[in-house]
Structure 1
Protein backbone atom coordinates (compact mmCIF):
# COMPACT_ATOMS: atom_id res chain seq x y z
CA UNK A 1 0.00 0.00 0.00
CA UNK A 2 1.38 3.41 -0.98
CA UNK A 3 0.93 6.22 1.55
CA UNK A 4 1.76 9.90 1.10
CA UNK A 5 2.43 12.16 4.09
CA UNK A 6 1.61 15.81 3.39
CA UNK A 7 3.68 18.65 4.84
CA UNK A 8 1.77 21.92 5.18
CA UNK A 9 2.46 25.46 6.33
CA UNK A 10 -1.04 26.29 7.52
CA UNK A 11 -2.12 29.44 9.31
CA UNK A 12 -5.35 30.74 10.78
CA UNK A 13 -7.20 31.17 7.44
CA UNK A 14 -9.29 28.00 7.16
CA UNK A 15 -10.33 28.36 3.48
CA UNK A 16 -6.69 29.01 2.50
CA UNK A 17 -5.60 25.94 4.48
CA UNK A 18 -8.18 23.77 2.72
CA UNK A 19 -7.00 25.11 -0.64
CA UNK A 20 -3.38 24.34 0.27
CA UNK A 21 -4.31 20.79 1.27
CA UNK A 22 -6.18 20.31 -2.00
CA UNK A 23 -3.16 21.40 -4.06
CA UNK A 24 -0.83 19.07 -2.16
CA UNK A 25 -3.16 16.10 -2.46
CA UNK A 26 -3.61 16.69 -6.17
CA UNK A 27 0.18 16.92 -6.59
CA UNK A 28 0.79 13.71 -4.65
CA UNK A 29 -1.91 11.84 -6.56
CA UNK A 30 -0.50 12.92 -9.92
CA UNK A 31 3.13 12.20 -9.04
CA UNK A 32 2.95 9.13 -6.79
CA UNK A 33 -0.56 7.64 -7.05
CA UNK A 34 -0.90 6.88 -3.31
CA UNK A 35 -3.72 4.72 -2.01
CA UNK A 36 -3.83 6.80 1.18
CA UNK A 37 -2.92 10.38 1.98
CA UNK A 38 -2.26 11.64 5.52
CA UNK A 39 -2.51 15.29 6.60
CA UNK A 40 -0.85 17.05 9.59
CA UNK A 41 -2.30 17.85 12.98
CA UNK A 42 -4.94 20.62 13.05
CA UNK A 43 -4.29 21.32 9.38
CA UNK A 44 -7.30 23.67 9.12
CA UNK A 45 -5.89 26.01 11.78
CA UNK A 46 -2.56 26.83 13.33
CA UNK A 47 -2.24 30.00 15.39
CA UNK A 48 -4.41 33.06 15.71
CA UNK A 49 -5.60 32.36 19.24
CA UNK A 50 -8.85 31.07 20.69
CA UNK A 51 -11.05 33.03 18.28
CA UNK A 52 -9.38 31.56 15.20
CA UNK A 53 -9.67 28.06 16.63
CA UNK A 54 -13.35 28.61 17.35
CA UNK A 55 -13.87 29.79 13.78
CA UNK A 56 -12.13 26.68 12.42
CA UNK A 57 -13.89 24.21 14.73
CA UNK A 58 -16.55 21.88 13.39
CA UNK A 59 -19.33 19.92 15.04
CA UNK A 60 -18.82 16.41 13.74
CA UNK A 61 -21.88 14.66 12.33
CA UNK A 62 -23.23 11.24 13.07
CA UNK A 63 -21.87 8.72 10.53
CA UNK A 64 -23.47 9.42 7.17
CA UNK A 65 -24.54 12.94 8.12
CA UNK A 66 -23.41 16.21 6.58
CA UNK A 67 -20.40 17.87 8.19
CA UNK A 68 -18.54 21.16 8.03
CA UNK A 69 -16.18 22.42 5.34
CA UNK A 70 -13.14 20.35 6.36
CA UNK A 71 -15.18 17.21 6.99
CA UNK A 72 -16.84 17.43 3.58
CA UNK A 73 -13.53 18.24 1.88
CA UNK A 74 -11.94 15.07 3.26
CA UNK A 75 -14.95 13.01 2.28
CA UNK A 76 -14.98 14.53 -1.21
CA UNK A 77 -11.28 13.79 -1.77
CA UNK A 78 -11.65 10.18 -0.64
CA UNK A 79 -14.66 9.56 -2.85
CA UNK A 80 -13.39 11.53 -5.84
CA UNK A 81 -9.92 9.96 -5.91
CA UNK A 82 -11.02 6.52 -4.71
CA UNK A 83 -8.46 6.48 -1.90
CA UNK A 84 -8.33 6.35 1.88
CA UNK A 85 -7.91 9.79 3.45
CA UNK A 86 -6.44 10.14 6.93
CA UNK A 87 -7.44 13.68 7.83
CA UNK A 88 -4.56 14.40 10.22
CA UNK A 89 -6.63 16.15 12.84
CA UNK A 90 -9.11 19.00 12.89
CA UNK A 91 -10.59 21.02 15.73
CA UNK A 92 -13.79 19.36 16.88
CA UNK A 93 -16.38 21.50 18.64
CA UNK A 94 -17.56 19.36 21.52
CA UNK A 95 -19.93 20.21 24.32
CA UNK A 96 -18.26 23.07 26.17
CA UNK A 97 -14.76 22.55 24.73
CA UNK A 98 -12.70 21.59 21.73
CA UNK A 99 -11.13 18.24 20.89
CA UNK A 100 -8.13 17.53 18.68
CA UNK A 101 -9.68 14.88 16.47
CA UNK A 102 -8.61 12.56 13.66
CA UNK A 103 -11.03 11.51 10.92
CA UNK A 104 -10.48 8.73 8.37
CA UNK A 105 -12.53 8.12 5.21
CA UNK A 106 -12.58 5.11 2.92
CA UNK A 107 -12.63 5.29 -0.91
CA UNK A 108 -16.43 5.57 -0.94
CA UNK A 109 -16.30 8.65 1.30
CA UNK A 110 -17.54 6.74 4.36
CA UNK A 111 -16.07 7.75 7.73
CA UNK A 112 -14.35 4.67 9.18
CA UNK A 113 -12.42 6.08 12.16
CA UNK A 114 -12.57 8.96 14.62
CA UNK A 115 -9.90 9.48 17.28
CA UNK A 116 -9.52 12.20 19.93
CA UNK A 117 -5.96 12.99 21.02
CA UNK A 118 -5.33 11.37 24.40
CA UNK A 119 -2.15 13.12 25.64
CA UNK A 120 -2.37 16.92 25.75
CA UNK A 121 0.70 19.11 25.21
CA UNK A 122 1.17 21.02 28.49
CA UNK A 123 4.90 21.80 28.60
CA UNK A 124 7.48 24.58 28.68
CA UNK A 125 9.88 24.37 25.74
CA UNK A 126 13.67 24.76 25.87
CA UNK A 127 13.30 28.40 24.81
CA UNK A 128 10.88 29.12 27.68
CA UNK A 129 7.75 29.15 25.52
CA UNK A 130 4.76 27.65 27.30
CA UNK A 131 2.17 25.43 25.64
CA UNK A 132 -1.08 24.55 27.40
CA UNK A 133 -3.21 22.44 25.11
CA UNK A 134 -5.51 21.49 27.98
CA UNK A 135 -6.59 25.12 28.33
CA UNK A 136 -8.53 24.73 25.08
CA UNK A 137 -8.92 21.02 24.46
CA UNK A 138 -10.36 18.02 26.20
CA UNK A 139 -8.49 14.73 26.07
CA UNK A 140 -9.66 11.56 24.39
CA UNK A 141 -10.01 8.29 26.26
CA UNK A 142 -10.13 5.55 23.63
CA UNK A 143 -7.65 3.77 21.38
CA UNK A 144 -8.69 3.60 17.73
CA UNK A 145 -7.67 1.25 14.92
CA UNK A 146 -9.05 0.80 11.41
CA UNK A 147 -8.37 -1.34 8.35
CA UNK A 148 -7.34 0.01 4.95
CA UNK A 149 -5.96 -1.93 2.01
CA UNK A 150 -5.51 -5.03 4.13
CA UNK A 151 -3.40 -3.15 6.69
CA UNK A 152 -4.51 -2.40 10.26
CA UNK A 153 -3.68 1.18 11.25
CA UNK A 154 -3.57 2.73 14.71
CA UNK A 155 -4.31 6.39 15.40
CA UNK A 156 -2.19 8.75 17.51
CA UNK A 157 -1.54 12.51 17.36
CA UNK A 158 1.75 14.36 17.96
CA UNK A 159 2.49 14.42 21.73
CA UNK A 160 1.11 10.88 22.00
CA UNK A 161 4.43 9.73 20.52
CA UNK A 162 6.16 10.33 23.87
CA UNK A 163 4.08 7.57 25.49
CA UNK A 164 5.29 4.21 24.18
CA UNK A 165 2.65 2.30 26.12
CA UNK A 166 0.02 3.69 23.73
CA UNK A 167 1.93 2.29 20.75
CA UNK A 168 2.33 -1.10 22.42
CA UNK A 169 -1.41 -1.13 23.13
CA UNK A 170 -2.14 -0.42 19.47
CA UNK A 171 0.23 -3.19 18.40
CA UNK A 172 -1.62 -5.58 20.70
CA UNK A 173 -4.84 -4.54 18.98
CA UNK A 174 -3.37 -5.66 15.67
CA UNK A 175 -1.81 -2.46 14.36
CA UNK A 176 0.75 -2.87 11.59
CA UNK A 177 1.10 0.87 10.96
CA UNK A 178 0.57 3.84 13.28
CA UNK A 179 -0.28 7.37 12.15
CA UNK A 180 1.23 10.37 13.94
CA UNK A 181 -0.02 13.70 12.48
CA UNK A 182 1.89 16.48 14.19
CA UNK A 183 2.67 20.14 14.79
CA UNK A 184 6.03 19.46 16.47
CA UNK A 185 7.82 22.55 17.77
CA UNK A 186 11.13 23.48 16.17
CA UNK A 187 12.96 23.55 19.51
CA UNK A 188 11.93 20.02 20.47
CA UNK A 189 11.77 18.68 16.94
CA UNK A 190 15.40 19.26 16.07
CA UNK A 191 16.42 16.97 18.94
CA UNK A 192 13.52 14.57 19.45
CA UNK A 193 11.31 14.22 16.34
CA UNK A 194 13.08 11.55 14.34
CA UNK A 195 14.52 9.80 17.41
CA UNK A 196 11.11 9.32 18.99
CA UNK A 197 9.42 8.20 15.79
CA UNK A 198 12.13 5.67 14.99
CA UNK A 199 11.98 4.39 18.57
CA UNK A 200 8.22 3.90 18.37
CA UNK A 201 8.69 2.00 15.08
CA UNK A 202 11.37 -0.26 16.57
CA UNK A 203 9.46 -0.94 19.80
CA UNK A 204 6.09 -1.61 18.20
CA UNK A 205 7.47 -3.18 15.00
CA UNK A 206 4.96 -1.04 13.12
CA UNK A 207 5.28 1.36 10.22
CA UNK A 208 5.20 4.94 11.54
CA UNK A 209 3.49 7.48 9.30
CA UNK A 210 4.03 11.05 10.48
CA UNK A 211 2.66 13.98 8.49
CA UNK A 212 3.75 17.28 10.03
CA UNK A 213 3.43 21.03 9.70
CA UNK A 214 6.46 23.13 8.79
CA UNK A 215 7.42 26.79 9.13
CA UNK A 216 6.19 29.78 11.09
CA UNK A 217 2.79 30.81 12.38
CA UNK A 218 1.45 33.65 14.51
CA UNK A 219 0.03 33.01 17.98
CA UNK A 220 -1.43 36.02 19.81
CA UNK A 221 1.11 38.43 18.34
CA UNK A 222 4.16 36.17 18.71
CA UNK A 223 5.77 34.04 16.01
CA UNK A 224 6.22 30.33 16.61
CA UNK A 225 7.87 27.66 14.49
CA UNK A 226 7.11 24.03 13.79
CA UNK A 227 9.68 21.51 12.65
CA UNK A 228 8.19 19.63 9.70
CA UNK A 229 10.32 16.74 8.37
CA UNK A 230 7.27 14.56 7.71
CA UNK A 231 8.40 10.95 7.40
CA UNK A 232 7.60 7.29 7.11
CA UNK A 233 9.67 4.77 9.11
CA UNK A 234 9.57 1.01 8.60
CA UNK A 235 9.19 -1.59 11.41
CA UNK A 236 12.99 -1.91 11.67
CA UNK A 237 13.27 1.83 12.37
CA UNK A 238 14.63 2.93 8.99
CA UNK A 239 13.30 6.21 7.63
CA UNK A 240 12.20 5.22 4.13
CA UNK A 241 10.61 8.52 3.04
CA UNK A 242 11.03 12.06 4.34
CA UNK A 243 10.11 15.63 3.40
CA UNK A 244 12.71 18.35 3.23
CA UNK A 245 11.98 21.88 4.45
CA UNK A 246 8.95 23.63 3.02
CA UNK A 247 5.58 22.52 1.73
CA UNK A 248 5.42 19.15 0.00
CA UNK A 249 4.89 15.43 0.47
CA UNK A 250 6.73 12.13 0.71
CA UNK A 251 5.48 8.70 -0.35
CA UNK A 252 6.38 5.19 0.80
CA UNK A 253 5.09 1.69 0.11
CA UNK A 254 4.07 -0.28 3.18
CA UNK A 255 5.46 -3.79 2.74
CA UNK A 256 3.53 -6.28 4.88
CA UNK A 257 6.09 -8.99 4.13
CA UNK A 258 8.76 -6.83 5.79
CA UNK A 259 6.51 -6.35 8.81
CA UNK A 260 5.99 -10.09 9.12
CA UNK A 261 9.71 -10.83 8.75
CA UNK A 262 10.75 -8.31 11.42
CA UNK A 263 8.18 -9.70 13.86
CA UNK A 264 9.12 -13.31 13.09
CA UNK A 265 12.86 -12.82 13.52
CA UNK A 266 12.59 -10.68 16.67
CA UNK A 267 9.33 -11.66 18.43
CA UNK A 268 9.50 -9.00 21.13
CA UNK A 269 5.77 -9.03 21.82
CA UNK A 270 5.94 -12.70 22.77
CA UNK A 271 9.08 -12.09 24.83
CA UNK A 272 7.63 -9.30 26.99
CA UNK A 273 7.60 -10.05 30.73
CA UNK A 274 6.49 -6.66 32.06
CA UNK A 275 3.48 -4.56 31.03
Structure 2
Protein backbone atom coordinates (compact mmCIF):
# COMPACT_ATOMS: atom_id res chain seq x y z
CA UNK A 1 0.00 0.00 0.00
CA UNK A 2 1.22 3.48 -0.91
CA UNK A 3 -0.08 6.20 1.41
CA UNK A 4 0.12 9.98 1.08
CA UNK A 5 -0.10 12.22 4.15
CA UNK A 6 -1.65 15.58 3.28
CA UNK A 7 -0.34 18.67 5.09
CA UNK A 8 -2.79 21.58 5.21
CA UNK A 9 -2.88 25.16 6.47
CA UNK A 10 -6.60 25.29 7.18
CA UNK A 11 -8.49 28.15 8.81
CA UNK A 12 -12.04 28.83 9.90
CA UNK A 13 -13.59 28.93 6.39
CA UNK A 14 -14.95 25.42 5.85
CA UNK A 15 -15.57 25.79 2.11
CA UNK A 16 -12.03 27.10 1.57
CA UNK A 17 -10.62 24.22 3.61
CA UNK A 18 -12.46 21.66 1.52
CA UNK A 19 -11.18 23.35 -1.65
CA UNK A 20 -7.61 23.29 -0.29
CA UNK A 21 -7.92 19.60 0.60
CA UNK A 22 -9.20 18.85 -2.89
CA UNK A 23 -6.24 20.62 -4.56
CA UNK A 24 -3.68 18.86 -2.40
CA UNK A 25 -5.24 15.42 -2.77
CA UNK A 26 -5.48 15.83 -6.54
CA UNK A 27 -1.81 16.85 -6.60
CA UNK A 28 -0.75 13.85 -4.53
CA UNK A 29 -2.77 11.43 -6.65
CA UNK A 30 -1.40 12.84 -9.91
CA UNK A 31 2.20 12.80 -8.71
CA UNK A 32 2.44 9.67 -6.56
CA UNK A 33 -0.62 7.49 -7.26
CA UNK A 34 -1.22 6.48 -3.63
CA UNK A 35 -3.61 3.73 -2.59
CA UNK A 36 -4.71 5.85 0.37
CA UNK A 37 -4.61 9.52 1.33
CA UNK A 38 -4.75 10.77 4.92
CA UNK A 39 -5.82 14.25 6.04
CA UNK A 40 -4.97 16.15 9.27
CA UNK A 41 -7.03 16.57 12.42
CA UNK A 42 -10.14 18.80 12.09
CA UNK A 43 -9.10 19.73 8.57
CA UNK A 44 -12.41 21.53 7.94
CA UNK A 45 -11.81 23.99 10.79
CA UNK A 46 -8.89 25.44 12.71
CA UNK A 47 -9.48 28.64 14.64
CA UNK A 48 -12.32 31.13 14.78
CA UNK A 49 -13.60 30.06 18.19
CA UNK A 50 -16.68 28.19 19.30
CA UNK A 51 -19.01 29.59 16.65
CA UNK A 52 -16.71 28.54 13.82
CA UNK A 53 -16.42 25.03 15.23
CA UNK A 54 -20.16 24.72 15.58
CA UNK A 55 -20.62 25.95 12.01
CA UNK A 56 -18.12 23.39 10.70
CA UNK A 57 -19.66 20.49 12.62
CA UNK A 58 -21.66 17.83 10.80
CA UNK A 59 -24.15 15.23 11.88
CA UNK A 60 -22.66 11.98 10.69
CA UNK A 61 -25.10 9.72 8.88
CA UNK A 62 -25.64 6.03 9.22
CA UNK A 63 -23.22 4.31 6.80
CA UNK A 64 -24.69 4.47 3.30
CA UNK A 65 -26.85 7.53 3.97
CA UNK A 66 -26.05 11.05 2.75
CA UNK A 67 -23.94 13.25 5.01
CA UNK A 68 -22.73 16.84 5.12
CA UNK A 69 -20.30 18.61 2.77
CA UNK A 70 -17.07 17.26 4.29
CA UNK A 71 -18.44 13.73 4.63
CA UNK A 72 -19.63 13.68 1.03
CA UNK A 73 -16.33 15.17 -0.18
CA UNK A 74 -14.39 12.33 1.42
CA UNK A 75 -16.76 9.76 -0.03
CA UNK A 76 -16.49 11.36 -3.48
CA UNK A 77 -12.67 11.38 -3.44
CA UNK A 78 -12.57 7.70 -2.50
CA UNK A 79 -15.09 6.63 -5.13
CA UNK A 80 -13.81 8.84 -7.95
CA UNK A 81 -10.21 7.71 -7.53
CA UNK A 82 -10.72 4.14 -6.39
CA UNK A 83 -8.62 4.62 -3.24
CA UNK A 84 -9.01 4.45 0.52
CA UNK A 85 -9.50 7.86 2.12
CA UNK A 86 -8.71 8.53 5.75
CA UNK A 87 -10.54 11.74 6.55
CA UNK A 88 -8.16 12.86 9.30
CA UNK A 89 -10.83 14.01 11.69
CA UNK A 90 -13.85 16.25 11.30
CA UNK A 91 -16.08 17.89 13.90
CA UNK A 92 -19.09 15.71 14.64
CA UNK A 93 -22.30 17.06 16.16
CA UNK A 94 -23.35 15.07 19.20
CA UNK A 95 -26.44 15.31 21.35
CA UNK A 96 -24.73 17.33 24.09
CA UNK A 97 -21.18 17.98 22.86
CA UNK A 98 -19.13 17.82 19.71
CA UNK A 99 -16.79 14.93 18.93
CA UNK A 100 -13.41 14.92 17.20
CA UNK A 101 -14.12 12.07 14.82
CA UNK A 102 -11.99 10.15 12.33
CA UNK A 103 -13.49 8.43 9.27
CA UNK A 104 -12.22 5.91 6.73
CA UNK A 105 -13.81 5.28 3.31
CA UNK A 106 -13.07 2.36 1.02
CA UNK A 107 -12.45 2.67 -2.77
CA UNK A 108 -16.18 2.33 -3.41
CA UNK A 109 -16.92 5.36 -1.24
CA UNK A 110 -18.35 3.31 1.64
CA UNK A 111 -17.61 4.35 5.21
CA UNK A 112 -15.74 1.46 6.84
CA UNK A 113 -14.52 2.99 10.12
CA UNK A 114 -15.47 5.74 12.57
CA UNK A 115 -13.39 6.66 15.63
CA UNK A 116 -13.97 9.35 18.26
CA UNK A 117 -10.83 10.83 19.84
CA UNK A 118 -10.39 9.36 23.32
CA UNK A 119 -7.79 11.63 24.95
CA UNK A 120 -8.82 15.29 25.02
CA UNK A 121 -6.25 18.08 24.86
CA UNK A 122 -6.63 19.93 28.17
CA UNK A 123 -3.18 21.39 28.77
CA UNK A 124 -1.24 24.62 29.28
CA UNK A 125 1.48 25.18 26.68
CA UNK A 126 4.98 26.44 27.60
CA UNK A 127 3.98 30.00 26.67
CA UNK A 128 1.00 29.90 29.06
CA UNK A 129 -1.64 29.37 26.37
CA UNK A 130 -4.43 27.13 27.64
CA UNK A 131 -6.17 24.50 25.53
CA UNK A 132 -9.40 22.95 26.86
CA UNK A 133 -10.75 20.55 24.29
CA UNK A 134 -13.17 19.07 26.82
CA UNK A 135 -15.06 22.38 27.03
CA UNK A 136 -16.58 21.64 23.62
CA UNK A 137 -15.84 17.99 22.90
CA UNK A 138 -16.86 14.69 24.41
CA UNK A 139 -14.38 11.81 24.65
CA UNK A 140 -14.65 8.61 22.66
CA UNK A 141 -14.78 5.28 24.43
CA UNK A 142 -13.89 2.66 21.81
CA UNK A 143 -10.70 1.55 20.07
CA UNK A 144 -11.08 1.05 16.32
CA UNK A 145 -9.18 -0.99 13.74
CA UNK A 146 -10.14 -1.52 10.09
CA UNK A 147 -8.79 -3.50 7.13
CA UNK A 148 -7.77 -1.33 4.19
CA UNK A 149 -6.42 -3.11 1.14
CA UNK A 150 -5.01 -5.93 3.23
CA UNK A 151 -3.40 -3.65 5.83
CA UNK A 152 -5.04 -3.42 9.27
CA UNK A 153 -5.18 0.22 10.35
CA UNK A 154 -5.55 1.44 13.92
CA UNK A 155 -7.19 4.84 14.42
CA UNK A 156 -6.04 7.57 16.81
CA UNK A 157 -6.11 11.39 16.81
CA UNK A 158 -3.28 13.76 17.86
CA UNK A 159 -3.06 13.88 21.69
CA UNK A 160 -3.72 10.13 21.78
CA UNK A 161 -0.07 9.72 20.76
CA UNK A 162 1.06 10.53 24.30
CA UNK A 163 -0.61 7.39 25.62
CA UNK A 164 1.52 4.42 24.63
CA UNK A 165 -0.96 1.89 26.01
CA UNK A 166 -3.50 2.87 23.35
CA UNK A 167 -1.02 2.02 20.59
CA UNK A 168 -0.10 -1.31 22.19
CA UNK A 169 -3.82 -2.10 22.53
CA UNK A 170 -4.32 -1.41 18.81
CA UNK A 171 -1.39 -3.70 18.03
CA UNK A 172 -3.08 -6.42 20.09
CA UNK A 173 -6.20 -5.89 17.97
CA UNK A 174 -4.15 -6.63 14.85
CA UNK A 175 -3.01 -3.16 13.76
CA UNK A 176 -0.11 -3.06 11.31
CA UNK A 177 -0.24 0.71 10.77
CA UNK A 178 -1.66 3.42 13.04
CA UNK A 179 -3.09 6.71 11.79
CA UNK A 180 -2.35 9.84 13.84
CA UNK A 181 -3.96 12.93 12.23
CA UNK A 182 -2.89 15.98 14.20
CA UNK A 183 -2.91 19.71 14.91
CA UNK A 184 0.27 19.69 17.02
CA UNK A 185 1.23 23.02 18.58
CA UNK A 186 4.49 24.58 17.40
CA UNK A 187 5.95 24.76 20.90
CA UNK A 188 5.33 21.13 21.79
CA UNK A 189 5.90 19.93 18.23
CA UNK A 190 9.47 21.11 17.91
CA UNK A 191 10.43 19.03 20.98
CA UNK A 192 7.97 16.14 21.07
CA UNK A 193 6.33 15.45 17.67
CA UNK A 194 8.84 13.20 15.97
CA UNK A 195 10.15 11.72 19.23
CA UNK A 196 6.69 10.54 20.27
CA UNK A 197 5.73 9.17 16.87
CA UNK A 198 8.97 7.23 16.52
CA UNK A 199 8.54 5.87 20.04
CA UNK A 200 4.98 4.73 19.31
CA UNK A 201 6.23 2.99 16.16
CA UNK A 202 9.01 1.20 18.03
CA UNK A 203 6.78 0.14 20.94
CA UNK A 204 3.88 -1.10 18.83
CA UNK A 205 6.00 -2.29 15.86
CA UNK A 206 3.45 -0.59 13.60
CA UNK A 207 3.83 1.89 10.79
CA UNK A 208 2.83 5.39 11.91
CA UNK A 209 0.94 7.55 9.42
CA UNK A 210 0.70 11.10 10.75
CA UNK A 211 -0.85 13.85 8.61
CA UNK A 212 -0.63 17.23 10.34
CA UNK A 213 -1.68 20.84 9.97
CA UNK A 214 0.97 23.52 9.43
CA UNK A 215 1.21 27.27 9.96
CA UNK A 216 -0.76 30.03 11.69
CA UNK A 217 -4.42 30.46 12.53
CA UNK A 218 -6.50 32.96 14.48
CA UNK A 219 -8.25 31.97 17.70
CA UNK A 220 -10.24 34.56 19.69
CA UNK A 221 -8.06 37.44 18.55
CA UNK A 222 -4.74 35.65 19.07
CA UNK A 223 -2.43 34.02 16.54
CA UNK A 224 -1.57 30.40 17.18
CA UNK A 225 0.79 28.12 15.28
CA UNK A 226 0.82 24.42 14.50
CA UNK A 227 3.94 22.43 13.72
CA UNK A 228 3.28 20.41 10.57
CA UNK A 229 6.07 17.98 9.64
CA UNK A 230 3.61 15.29 8.55
CA UNK A 231 5.41 11.97 8.35
CA UNK A 232 5.35 8.23 7.86
CA UNK A 233 7.45 6.10 10.20
CA UNK A 234 8.28 2.41 9.81
CA UNK A 235 7.99 -0.20 12.60
CA UNK A 236 11.70 0.11 13.41
CA UNK A 237 11.24 3.82 14.13
CA UNK A 238 12.74 5.20 10.91
CA UNK A 239 11.04 8.21 9.36
CA UNK A 240 10.66 7.15 5.72
CA UNK A 241 8.72 10.18 4.40
CA UNK A 242 8.24 13.69 5.75
CA UNK A 243 6.74 17.01 4.65
CA UNK A 244 8.73 20.22 4.61
CA UNK A 245 7.31 23.48 5.95
CA UNK A 246 4.22 24.68 4.09
CA UNK A 247 1.31 22.85 2.55
CA UNK A 248 1.94 19.71 0.55
CA UNK A 249 2.18 15.95 0.96
CA UNK A 250 4.61 13.10 1.46
CA UNK A 251 4.17 9.54 0.18
CA UNK A 252 5.56 6.23 1.40
CA UNK A 253 4.98 2.53 0.80
CA UNK A 254 3.72 0.42 3.70
CA UNK A 255 5.80 -2.73 3.27
CA UNK A 256 4.40 -5.80 5.07
CA UNK A 257 7.76 -7.58 4.76
CA UNK A 258 9.36 -4.89 6.95
CA UNK A 259 6.59 -5.31 9.53
CA UNK A 260 6.98 -9.08 9.58
CA UNK A 261 10.77 -8.93 9.90
CA UNK A 262 10.74 -6.44 12.78
CA UNK A 263 8.12 -8.45 14.69
CA UNK A 264 9.88 -11.76 14.06
CA UNK A 265 13.31 -10.60 15.15
CA UNK A 266 12.12 -8.71 18.25
CA UNK A 267 8.84 -10.31 19.43
CA UNK A 268 7.96 -7.69 22.04
CA UNK A 269 4.22 -8.43 22.00
CA UNK A 270 4.88 -12.06 22.91
CA UNK A 271 7.26 -10.93 25.62
CA UNK A 272 4.57 -8.62 27.02
CA UNK A 273 2.09 -11.48 27.02
CA UNK A 274 4.58 -13.68 28.86
CA UNK A 275 5.26 -11.12 31.61
CA UNK A 276 5.33 -12.36 35.16
CA UNK A 277 5.66 -9.14 37.17
CA UNK A 278 2.49 -7.63 38.65
CA UNK A 279 1.46 -4.45 36.86
CA UNK A 280 3.82 -4.76 33.87
Same fold (TM over 0.5): yes
Cα deviations by residue, 1:148-206 (Å, 9 ceiling, x for unpaired): 11100000000000000000000000000000000000000000000000000000000
Alpha-carbon separation, structure 2, partners of 1:67 and 1:96: 20
Alpha-carbon separation, structure 2, partners of 1:49 and 1:187: 20
**What's 1:81 paired with?**
81
**What's 2:133 paired with?**
133
SS at match of 2:184: coil
SS at match of 1:252: strand
**What's 2:184 paired with?**
184
Alpha-carbon separation, structure 1, partners of 2:96 and 2:197: 33
1:229: Cα distance to partner?
A: 0.1
Considering only aligned residues, what root-mean-square deviation do their CA atoms show, in Å? 0.5
Alpha-carbon separation, structure 1, partners of 2:97 and 2:51: 13
Alpha-carbon separation, structure 2, partners of 1:183 and 1:204: 22
Alpha-carbon separation, structure 2, partners of 1:96 and 1:267: 44
Asked if 1:112 corresponds to 2:108, the answer is no
Alpha-carbon separation, structure 2, partners of 1:247 and 1:192: 21
- The size of the alignment, in residue pairs, is 275
Which contiguous aligned blocks of 4+ residues in structure 1 show a shift greater than 3 angstroms? none
SS at match of 2:244: coil
Asked if 1:26 corresponds to 2:64, the answer is no
SS at match of 1:137: coil
Asked if 1:35 corresponds to 2:35, the answer is yes
Asked if 1:13 corresponds to 2:8, the answer is no
Alpha-carbon separation, structure 1, partners of 2:135 and 2:200: 28
Gaps of 5+ in 1: none
Cα deviations by residue, 1:120-173 (Å, 9 ceiling, x for unpaired): 000000111000000000000000000011100000000000000000000000
Q: TM-score, normalised by structure 1?
A: 0.99
Counterparts of 1:52-63 in structure 2, within 5 Å, are 52-63=52-63
Alpha-carbon separation, structure 2, partners of 1:232 and 1:63: 29
Alpha-carbon separation, structure 2, partners of 1:134 and 1:148: 31
Alpha-carbon separation, structure 1, partners of 2:79 and 2:25: 13
Alpha-carbon separation, structure 2, partners of 1:173 and 1:144: 9
Alpha-carbon separation, structure 1, partners of 2:75 and 2:253: 23
Alpha-carbon separation, structure 1, partners of 2:91 and 2:162: 21
Gaps of 5+ in 2: none
